[in-house]
Each structure stands twice: as C-alpha cells, then as structure tokens.
Structure 1
Amino acid sequence: MNDIVIANFEQTKEEILVGVDRDSFFENWQENETWEVGFLVMKTKDNAHSFDLVDYESSVFWNGQEFIIKQMKDYAVGAQRFKEVVATHVYYTIQDGYQYEQMTGTFSINQCLSHIFAAGARGFSYEVINTNGVFSRIEQENFGGGNYLKLIDEVLSDYDAVVIPDNKHLRFYPRSYYGNETQEQIRYKFNTDEVHFEIDTYSLKTQIRGFGKKKEDDSYYFSPITYTSPESAKWGVRIQDPVSDDRFTVASSMSARLRRDIHDYPDISGTVNIKWAIDLNRGDKVTFVYEPLNVCQMIQVVGLKKYPLIPNKPPEVTLSNNKKTMTNILAGLKKKGVL
C-alpha cells in the first residue's frame, strides 16, 4: 500500500503522514477538469510533526504524484484537533504562468503549446501524442493573452484533445486515442442499480463529404468524396459539416478520415455507482448495457472517484461517448433535476 507523504511549501521538511481517516481518503479525476485527493487527519502523539506540515500550499505525495493543498478546514472537537483537506494535482499550478503575447493564423497543436510556454516553462514539459496524424491545423485568432491553464483549456477544446499529467510532464492525446478497450462491462441490475445519464441525438449525422488538397490549377487531386453511414438506413440521411483538409492528396486516406469522423451514434453521458470493484483506468473503454432503453455501447471512462484506502470499495465512474466536458454534463443533469 502506498504511503501518504506530506512536505512543507519550501520542500525542506517531509514526513509520512499517519493518522489519516481511511474512510475519508479519496482520489478524484475528471477528464480535463480536475484531479485531486482529499482526506481527514487527526492529530495524535504519533503524527505531531507530520500533522503540523499539513497546511495551505503544502505538498501531498500520493501514488507517485504531487498534489498541492488548496482547501483546508482546521478545527477541534474538545481537546482533539482535526484537519480536513483537499489537495489539487500540481498540474493546476500551471495557472500561475501568463502569456501576454497573442498570435493569429492557422496553427498546429504543437505551435499553440510552444507559444504558451514561450513565456517560460515554469518547470513543466510536454509532448503531443499525435496518433496517425489525427490533430489538424486550426485557425486561431488572437491566441494568447491568458494564464497558461486557460490557454491549455482552449487548446483542449479546439483540438479535441485530452491532457494526462505526470506531475509536471504533460501528455496531450487525441480524445479517441487514449485509454484501453477493456473486457469489463457495466450492466444495469448486474453490477449497478444507480444510473444517472442523458442520451441525445442532436449531433447524430449519417452522411459527410470530404475535400482534399487543390492543385495549382485549382482542381482537386481527387474528386470530393461522400461517405454515407450504414446507420442512415435507421436514421435517414443527416448531413454532417464537411471536412476540408489540404493534407489529403489520396482518396483512400480521405475515405478513412470520413469513416472515423462521422458521428453516427447518439451521445450518451452519465454516472454509475458500481456494486463491486472493477479494474478501470482513465480513458478506458467499457461496454455499458442499459436494457430499459436498449443501450449496449462501448463508452469511455471520463471520470473516476476512488477510495484506495478502503479494501474492495468500488469507484464512482463517469462515462461518456461524446465531446462534452464534465462541467457541461453535470450542469445538464442538474438542470433536468436528475442530480
């Protein structure tokens, strides 16, 4: 079992933290939204030194990652003293950097990230995992003029990317190309009774057209390609915005791109409470079966809340197959009175 280690802000003192209420300890990750740990610790004769290190801006080291205490409640019950804290992953200290300069043009994700960190790395490094050249160049207008976290959030939205921090090293993945396809299954009335989700077909499309690169005489290397999904037999022809990408000079490559880009399925987002522990990690794809609505679809894990100090306690899992952020998902559920 991993130890919880606490260090002061100056990083001059470090202790293993004992006396933590095991039932209170949690680790919460939500894709592109938050990563934090929280716990309640009671002062005892065995942890007098480490207890005093628990303070605002102190570092909590858990499972190889550093978290910074940003919220804390310090109180006493009779003669007994307690501290209740929430510590946010060190990645989020990136908001303390600011890029004043702006740029306009058509840029790659690498160029945008390079522009952000041109104002100073602040101890951070990054890499882009551009599987099969999925990331396209995007037109940007006045990109900059914000803190690093705000600008990275813009990059994640514009390029449909996911950031996975490893302390201060950041890996940027195309949303569709991180996590593993698992054999695990989440099935209503089998390993979960409590399901909160929403399904919508606003973005469901069954036909898309692609335009490749033009030659100097203004003709295309290949004629525009139209792909019609087999789902059109069920939903009819619903036309998606076309793809126009001058990187493509071969028709077969564009055809593969259109098959990948077509959004020919309903969007599903929701949270489930699992009855027992299952092996799921960030970004994993899991089969979600909800028979009352005839749902059986591979959906991605976009949120995990774990209780690692409680043996066999299952996680709370958030699933989604669309591009909404967790903030939008939860706001929508609250608005509908589900949460």
Structure 2
Amino acid sequence: MLDVDILYRNYSGTIEELLIDFDPDSFRYEYEENEKRNIQLTVFLTNRNSGIYKGLSEEAFLIWRGQIFTIKECNPQQEGTIQFKEIIAQHISFSCADHVQYNLVEQERVYDIWQYLSHGHEGDELGFTIEARGEFPTIPMSSVGRQSLLEYVQTAAEKFGGVFYANNKHLVIYSPAEWYKYNGIDLRYQFNTDTVKLSSNTYNLKTYVKGFGKTKEDGTTVEAIYISPNVNKYGRRKADPITDERFLYSESLQSYLATKILDVPETSIEIVYKGNEPIGENEQLYLVHETLGYESMLNLKRMTLFHPYTNKASEIGFSNRITDMIDIQRQVHRRYNNMNKRLESTRYEMEQVTGIANTALSGDIVGEVT
C-alpha cells in the first residue's frame, strides 16, 4: 500500500477496500503527544464509490500507514447536487477508554510503571496489550482504580514521565530516552522554515519546590528544598511536592528538583516546516534562529501532516513543559534581560549627554545675556 493510500474497513471486518474520491486538500493527520492522533478528510459520493460511501459511518475504520483509525464523527452534507461526508477518525489505541478497571486499591503503596499499567489492564477483553520501554521511577499512589485503561495510560505518561504511543492496539509508554531520536534534521530560519511563532505565559511558573526521597531504616525520609534564583523577581511560588524513592541523599534530590520546575515563562513554538526530510512523531530537531537569537535541541510535541498530493508544508509544534524547551526559555529570558540592561545603559548615557549639553547650553545663554 502506498503512503498516499487510505483503506476503508467495515465495523465487522468483513469488507476492506481502497478509499477513493476523497478530497486530498481536506486530508490532515493531527498528532499531539499523549493526547491526540486523528485523521480527518472529506469524501464525495460518486458513481465509483457508492458502496463504500454508504458504509462510511461511526465506528467503521480507516487504515493509513498501517495504523487503524476509528471513525468517531461522520457528517453527511449536500450542496446542490453534490453529496459528501466530513469525517474525523481517532487512532484505535484511544478506544482503550472502553475498558474500565472498577476495582479500587485505596491504601497508598509504591508502584513501578508496569504494576500500575497492569492493574488498569487487568480483565481487558478488547485485545489490548501493554508495554513500558526504558527506565522509570517508582511512584507512591493511593486510591488507584475505577478509571478507564486510557486514563491509566495517560496518567502513567504524566506521573512516571513518559510518552504514550501505540502500534494499533499495542499500547506502549516510552521513557524520553527511548522515545526521542535526533536524525540530523536542523531547522534554520529561511532555509527550511519561514514561519516561526513564539508565545509565552506564566501560568505554570514556580520558584519553590519541596521533594521527598527514600525512607530510611530509622523511619526518616530524605527531604530537600529547591529555591530558584528567580524567586527575587517573581516571589515564592510553590510547586506541588515531588516524591521519588530513587534518591538516598538530599543533595542529589535537590539537583533533581531544579529540573522539575519551570522558573521562567512557559514558552511554545509553532513552525511551518518546508524541508524534504520526513519528520516522525518522536523527532528531535535542532532549531537555529539568528534573528530572534536562540538555538536549541527541541522535542516535537505536535504535528499536522497534509496529503502528499497537496504539497503543503507540515506544521510542527514544541512546548517547554519543564524539560522540552527550558534552554529556549532561558535564552529568551537572558535576551530580554540583556536588552533591558542595554536600554538602561543607553538611557544612562543619554541622560549624561543631555546633562552635559544642558549645562553647556545654559552657560552659553548666560554669557549672551551678560
């Protein structure tokens, strides 16, 4: 099957055919890390596809690049004599929301990621399998259960610090080291991208965090506090406590805490990529933007791909959720501070020059009056 081809499969799996007479300009694949993998497109009714067109409905399937997507929205419309359906299909892995673990483990206990996922997967009758790749911390949790397998997977990605990405019904949580790969693609302004949008906010800015490590044999728990140097600028903004039993010493725990809070404005970047190299969901890309004055290795967080026939440039996005763009933020922050320092220096020099000029001018005027 070619990269441009899309297959239709009915709900029972008894019919599978090549999807034809869809509008390539309407096709888009949208990915957002841990949250979204959708395709959407518009299919027109023609004399060639009347059978498939009739079967295009909710819970039928579309297959693209070997991955199965479940149709979740199907909106038939007609304009004059033209009939068409606007379709949104979600990756089949997200249908693990249909399995729910009703049993509840109320007492607090320490879970590794496999124990946590296994509890959510227990009793699954929908054919899902689970896997965790890489190294993850252990996390104390209580009241575990009474939620869907999808909630387990997304919570595991958040709490243990991983990326959820499935191969159809095989659900995998990757550690960042296992997931992100640099394949030599650099993003350089006006070379393979001409649109770069930078935005920032302080909704998640924190300057103070307390952490708890391993409990020792004498019953005491390793504790550490990290206070950001930016507390002088933003005040004491406390983050939620962090618990990680891997740490036996407060010094190493404190160093770890420094990497877990965002002590400068949160930054996101949206880029239109015009290069020829294909970009995957796990891509690391090196961004260089001389005009805005920053460069850094970025982890891809969002992407929108269009149909190859349209020759539209891919849209890719990055976010600095703690580790992803901290270098970018600090570069922007330093650039802002340096600009302010230069402005202050220029203002001071202008005041000095103005003062000298006024003194000289005042002397000249007095001399003329005399």
TM-score class normalised by the smaller sequence: 0.7 to 0.9
5 Å matches for 1:47-86?
47-86=49-88
| Deviation readout 1:209-262 (Å, 9 max, x if unpaired) | 998767646799xx9999999x99xx9xx999998755467999x69x849957
Correspondence for 1:46: 48
| Deviation readout 1:153-208 (Å, 9 max, x if unpaired) | 22221112111110000110123541211322223344333323334687688x99
Correspondence for 1:107: 111
Using the alignment, how far apart are the partners of 2:301 and 2:257 within structure 1? Answer: 24
Q: Secondary structure at the match of 1:310?
A: helix
Q: Does 1:28 align with 2:65?
A: no
Unaligned runs of 5+ in 1: 326-339
Using the alignment, how far apart are the partners of 2:101 and 2:243 within structure 1? Answer: 31
Using the alignment, how far apart are the partners of 2:293 and 2:145 within structure 1? Answer: 46
TM-score when normalising by structure 1: 0.77
Correspondence for 2:316: 317
Over 3 Å counting, the alpha-carbon distance change for 1:305 and 1:190 in structure 2 is: same
Using the alignment, how far apart are the partners of 1:140 and 1:243 within structure 2? Answer: 12
Using the alignment, how far apart are the partners of 1:136 and 1:52 within structure 2? Answer: 50
5 Å matches for 1:140-151?
140-151=141-152
Contact 2:154 2:164 in 1 (8 A): no
Correspondence for 1:95: 97
Contact 1:277 1:313 in 2 (8 A): no
The alpha-carbon deviation at position 316 of structure 1 amounts to 0.5
Instruction: Give aligned pairs, total.
Output: 313
Using the alignment, how far apart are the partners of 1:187 and 1:291 within structure 2? Answer: 9
The alpha-carbon deviation at position 142 of structure 1 amounts to 0.5
Contact 2:25 2:307 in 1 (8 A): no
The alpha-carbon deviation at position 41 of structure 1 amounts to 1.1
Contact 1:240 1:262 in 2 (8 A): no
Over 3 Å counting, the alpha-carbon distance change for 1:242 and 1:182 in structure 2 is: farther
Over 3 Å counting, the alpha-carbon distance change for 1:17 and 1:186 in structure 2 is: same
Q: Does 1:283 align with 2:282?
A: yes
Q: Does 1:174 align with 2:178?
A: no
Using the alignment, how far apart are the partners of 1:204 and 1:189 within structure 2? Answer: 35
Which amino acid in 2 is paired with 1:296? E
Q: Does 1:8 align with 2:10?
A: yes
* Structure possessing the higher relative contact order (Cα contacts under 8 Å, 6 or more residues apart): 1
Using the alignment, how far apart are the partners of 1:241 and 1:10 within structure 2? Answer: 47
Using the alignment, how far apart are the partners of 1:192 and 1:46 within structure 2? Answer: 40
Using the alignment, how far apart are the partners of 1:242 and 1:116 within structure 2? Answer: 25
Contact 1:29 1:305 in 2 (8 A): yes
Correspondence for 1:136: 137
Contact 2:139 2:245 in 1 (8 A): no
Sequence identity (%):
27
| Deviation readout 1:38-80 (Å, 9 max, x if unpaired) | 1111111221222222111110011100001111111122222
Higher Rg of the two aligned structures: 2
53-62 or 195-204, larger mean C-alpha shift: 195-204
Unaligned runs of 5+ in 2: 325-370
Contact 1:27 1:38 in 2 (8 A): yes
Which amino acid in 2 is paired with 1:123? G
TM-score when normalising by structure 2: 0.71
Contact 1:277 1:314 in 2 (8 A): no
Using the alignment, how far apart are the partners of 2:290 and 2:166 within structure 1? Answer: 36
Correspondence for 1:117: 121
| Deviation readout 1:94-127 (Å, 9 max, x if unpaired) | 1111111122321111111011011325210011
Correspondence for 2:345: none
195-204 or 170-179, larger mean C-alpha shift: 195-204
Correspondence for 1:333: none
Q: CA RMSD in A?
A: 3.7
